[in-house]
Amino acid sequence: MIYLVIWTPLWPFIRSKFMIRKLTILTRGPGLVEISNKIDDVLREVDIEEGLCTVFIPHTSASLIVQENADPSARLDLEGWMNRLVQESDPNFTHRFEGTDDMPAHIKTALTATSVAIPIIHGQLALGTWQGVFLWEHRRHEHNRSIILHII
């Protein structure tokens, strides 16, 4: 039996609204920086009611997580646990070109995420009551970090 499949691209018929926005976030050294409000500001600006927001960080020594935003002690516990797990003093690290905190930062990024996708409902990120989107800076010094938002 032979099947004939005719593929017709849908893109001419779908009028989807998508956009890309870039945020720049100044970090002051290692730790979690909540960026949920900055993302919500962009969503209000682009006036989208429903969709999907992909948040991406194009760096190898900082990452993104969705985590509790109500109690600051949760952030401190996460940071402390990660620092115990991946220590700067590991004598087995050979990558030290940018400093002793660089290789641990790469590992911490590999263990977390560089992108998260969050539904948009009623013009806002569909996060849980106690959830926030955080940029996690893994380096000791301040950096200007880029955050790319792809909104569809």
Beta partners for residue 26, in sequence order: 144
Q: What is the pLDDT of residue 18?
A: 78
Amino acid (1-letter code) at residue 92 = N
Q: What is the pLDDT of residue 17?
A: 67
- 15 pLDDT higher than 70: no
Amino acid (1-letter code) at residue 90 = D
Both tokens assigned to 61 = 């020594």
83-132 tens-digit pLDDT: 999 999 899 999 998 999 999 999 999 999 999 999 999 999 999 999 99
Half-sphere exposure of 63 (CA within 13 A, CB side): 17
How far apart, in whole angstroms, are the C-alpha atoms of residue 13 and residue 139? 46
Question: Do the beta carbons of residue 66 and residue 116 sit within 8 Å?
Answer: yes
By percentage, how much of the chain surpasses pLDDT 90? 86
Q: What is the pLDDT of residue 118?
A: 98
The structural domains of the chain, ordered by start, are 19-151 (2.60.120.460)
3 state SS for 18-41: CEEEEEEEEECCCEEEECHHHHHH
- 72 pLDDT higher than 60: yes
45-70 tens-digit pLDDT: 998 999 999 999 999 999 999 999 99
What is the four-CA torsion angle of 90, 92, 94, 96, rounded to 10 degrees? 10
